């Protein structure tokens, strides 16, 4: 239902208009009439009508002057001028003030009805547009919430989804200028209810979005926020801006009764592919602080690995080459016994062992022939290393791996040996390209079916498994070098799709690449 007001100094004219409206337009609510411009302004302010039928010639303040005042307060109200003045200048000024129609007195009922129908149609169109805009805003808000949750979930798994991140940035409709990650610790000590933590995250995120672009997620008693740098902030102002915004974040939590939290802030991030490292930075800073406050990540020079790992690596290589594994067993046992890793430290220790043994494995594999190095039985299963729960399991894994590497058995490949060797050489030279079984078989000079059968019979692996092993060996070598970004590692390992690279890397190694890089830092 729409509300309509009539402004005319003639009571009879007002009553006649009221009767026509009530007769022809049942859904219009007729408001009290105004007899002059001053009353019109007051009634419009009081009743907020959708339509106004206004006479020009009224005492005190005429209709046009009143409308000039009203337009600054209620631009959505539709105006129909009802006047005996037919001069052009009146009609021109009325249209300038936003009048929808100009009807001459005495009013013709059919003309008046057409004018009101036109006004109602316009109101309905505008109402529909506003409803559609509101629905679109709600839908966009809901979609952004889903995108934000999906991206932060992928980030926490160490596999940031770049496609989701790009969709999120497009929805912001502003230039992307980088961001920081903030990890909030100290909630689990005070709030056992995970639902309350999620509510707190939602409340703070909503409040933060009044000042900047911010998305958040709760995870295992922690809060994680991704705060986007305002597009008008320059490089020199960046740190102060982030410091101020995280200060606002801390205040928002304090107002809700959480005034003893630790806020760990990452370094400035630009590339979505690198944000797993940024999350690791913020977590590391937050977890290393005992007092409430805001703490920024500061990069430190990489410390050297303990010397005993290097000595153990050299000893393992020599022992395997000379077939003296018993010497290696004693050294491994002594090394792990001296470290006595706790259950909490096992993740870091397993990654350290992987870093130490990787060059051993690479060196010994290079000494084997092309076929033997890719036999499934002798492949290094890094993912099982990451499953070790204590020093004893870790010691057993290391010794079993060294036994595999010391194996020098011949692989019976028959007449197909040459084809298999040429196929492996082709893969090792072209693994950065988008090569296929068909392409490899064509280069070797046999059918893809025959090559697939040869690989399975001799190596107990298919084409994809062998290619993955080649690519992952290269990826791990780049990770330990510590000089390349995640995207560079993916591309140089043969993966154009970085999201897929994250999944393959985690499956092959048992850890996300972000966790590996966190250890290296």
Residue 67 sits in a domain whose CATH number is 3.40.50.2300
Tokens 């090569």 found at: 435
What gap in Å lies between CA 328 and CA 104, rounded to an integer? 107
Q: Report which DSSP code applies to 34.
A: B
Q: Is 254 found in the same domain as 361?
A: no
Residue 197 · residue 221 · CB < 8 Å: yes
Q: What is the CATH number of the domain that holds 445?
A: 1.10.10.60
Q: What is the CATH number of the domain that holds 210?
A: 3.30.70.270
- Alpha helix stretches (DSSP H) within 157-292: 162-172, 194-208, 238-255, 275-287
Q: Is 253 found in the same domain as 327?
A: no
Number of structural domains found in the chain: 3
CA angle 298, 303, 307 (to 5 degrees): 165
Q: Is 381 found in the same domain as 272?
A: no
In a domain, 210, yes or no: yes
**Given this model, what pLDDT does residue 43 score?**
93
- What is the helix (H) or strand (E) element at residue 228, kind and residue range? strand 222-228
The SS3 of residue 188 is: coil
- Alpha helix stretches (DSSP H) within 25-177: 37-47, 63-71, 88-96, 109-156, 162-172
pTM over 0.85: no
In a domain, 134, yes or no: no
Q: Is 467 found in the same domain as 494?
A: yes
What gap in Å lies between CA 7 and CA 83, rounded to an integer? 11
Tens of pLDDT along the chain (521 residues) come to 899 999 998 998 899 999 999 989 988 999 999 999 999 999 999 999 999 999 988 888 888 899 888 887 888 899 999 888 877 788 888 888 888 888 888 888 899 999 999 999 999 999 899 888 888 878 877 888 899 999 999 888 878 888 899 888 888 877 888 899 999 998 765 555 778 888 889 999 999 988 889 999 988 788 999 999 887 887 678 888 989 999 999 999 999 888 889 999 998 888 887 788 889 889 888 988 889 999 998 865 444 444 455 666 777 777 777 777 777 777 777 777 776 666 667 878 888 888 888 887 887 777 777 778 888 887 888 999 988 888 888 888 888 887 777 765 555 656 788 899 999 999 999 999 999 999 999 999 999 999 999 999 888 999 999 999 999 999 999 998 888 888 889 999 999 888 788 889 989 998 888 777 767 75
In a domain, 476, yes or no: yes
What gap in Å lies between CA 504 and CA 512, rounded to an integer? 9
Q: Is 334 found in the same domain as 272?
A: no
Q: What are phi and psi of 121, to 5 degrees?
A: -60, -45
Question: Which of 245, 265, 296 marks a domain boundary?
Answer: 296
In a domain, 513, yes or no: yes
Q: Is 352 found in the same domain as 213?
A: no
What range does the domain containing 486 cover?
A: 307-520
Q: Is 312 found in the same domain as 193?
A: no
Pick left, alpha or beta for residue 60 (phi over 0 → left; psi -120 to 50 → alpha; otherwise beta): left
Which residue, 44, 46, 45, 302, is CA-closest to 54? 44
Q: Is 201 found in the same domain as 330?
A: no
Q: Is 24 found in the same domain as 47?
A: yes
In a domain, 265, yes or no: yes
**Given this model, what pLDDT does residue 305 score?**
46
In a domain, 321, yes or no: yes
Q: Is 501 found in the same domain as 361?
A: yes
Residue 89 · residue 96 · CB < 8 Å: no
Residue 180 · residue 266 · CB < 8 Å: yes
Residue 47 · residue 3 · CB < 8 Å: yes
Burial class (CB in 10 A: 0-12, 13-18, 19+), 413: middle
In a domain, 456, yes or no: yes
Q: Is 148 found in the same domain as 209?
A: yes
DSSP for 437-493, written as a single string: HHHHHHHHTS-HHHHHHHHHHHHS--HHHHHHHHHHHHHHHHHHHT-S-HHHHHHHT
In a domain, 481, yes or no: yes
Q: Is 324 found in the same domain as 249?
A: no
């Amino acid at each position: 239902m729409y509300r309509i007001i009539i402004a005319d100094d003639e009571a009879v004219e007002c009553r006649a208009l009221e009767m026509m409206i009530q007769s022809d337009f049942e859904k219009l609510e007729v408001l009290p009439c105004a007899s002059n411009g001053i009353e019109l302004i007051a009634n419009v302010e009081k009743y907020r009508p959708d339509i106004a039928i206004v006479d020009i010639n009224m005492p005190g303040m005429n209709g046009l002057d009143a409308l000039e005042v009203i337009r600054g307060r209620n631009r959505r109200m539709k105006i129909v001028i009802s006047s005996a003045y037919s001069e052009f200048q009146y009609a021109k000024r009325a249209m300038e003030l936003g009048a929808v129609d100009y009807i001459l007195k005495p009013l013709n009922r059919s003309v008046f009805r057409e004018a009101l129908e036109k006004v109602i149609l316009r109101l309905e169109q505008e109402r529909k547009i506003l409803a559609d805009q509101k629905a679109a805003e709600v839908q966009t808000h809901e979609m952004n919430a889903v995108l934000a949750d999906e991206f932060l979930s992928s980030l926490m798994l160490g596999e940031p989804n770049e496609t989701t991140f790009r969709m999120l940035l497009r929805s912001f409709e502003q230039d992307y200028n980088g961001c920081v990650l903030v990890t909030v610790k100290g909630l689990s000590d005070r709030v056992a209810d995970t639902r309350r933590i999620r509510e707190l995250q939602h409340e703070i995120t909503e409040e933060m979005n009044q000042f900047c672009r911010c998305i958040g997620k709760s995870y295992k008693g922690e809060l994680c926020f991704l705060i986007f740098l305002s597009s008008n902030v320059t490089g020199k102002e960046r740190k102060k801006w982030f410091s101020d915004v995280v200060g606002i974040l801390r205040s928002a939590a304090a107002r809700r009764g959480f005034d003893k939290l630790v806020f760990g802030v990452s370094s400035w991030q630009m590339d979505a592919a690198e944000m797993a490292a940024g999350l690791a930075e913020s977590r590391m800073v937050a977890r290393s602080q005992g007092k409430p406050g805001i703490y920024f990540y500061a990069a430190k020079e990489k410390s050297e690995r303990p010397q005993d790992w290097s000595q153990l690596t050299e000893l393992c290589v020599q022992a395997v080459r000379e077939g003296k594994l018993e010497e290696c067993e004693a050294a491994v046992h002594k090394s792990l016994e001296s470290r006595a890793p706790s259950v909490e430290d096992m993740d870091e220790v397993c990654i350290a062992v992987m870093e130490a043994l990787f060059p051993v494995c690479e060196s010994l594999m290079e000494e084997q022939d092309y076929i033997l190095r890719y036999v499934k039985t002798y492949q290094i299963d890094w993912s099982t290393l990451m499953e070790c729960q204590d020093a004893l399991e870790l010691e057993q894994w290391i010794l079993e791996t060294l036994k595999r590497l010391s194996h020098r058995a011949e692989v019976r490949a028959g007449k197909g040996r040459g084809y298999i060797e040429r196929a492996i050489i082709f893969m090792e030279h072209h693994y950065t390209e988008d090569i296929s079984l068909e392409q490899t078989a064509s280069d070797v000079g046999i059918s893809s079916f025959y090559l697939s059968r040869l690989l399975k019979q001799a190596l107990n692996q298919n084409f994809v498994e062998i290619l993955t092993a080649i690519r992952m060996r290269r990826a791990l070598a780049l990770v330990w070098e510590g000089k390349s970004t995640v995207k560079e590692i993916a591309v140089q390992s043969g993966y154009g799709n970085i999201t897929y690279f994250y999944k393959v890397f985690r499956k092959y190694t048992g850890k996300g690449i972000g966790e590996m890089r966190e250890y290296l830092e």
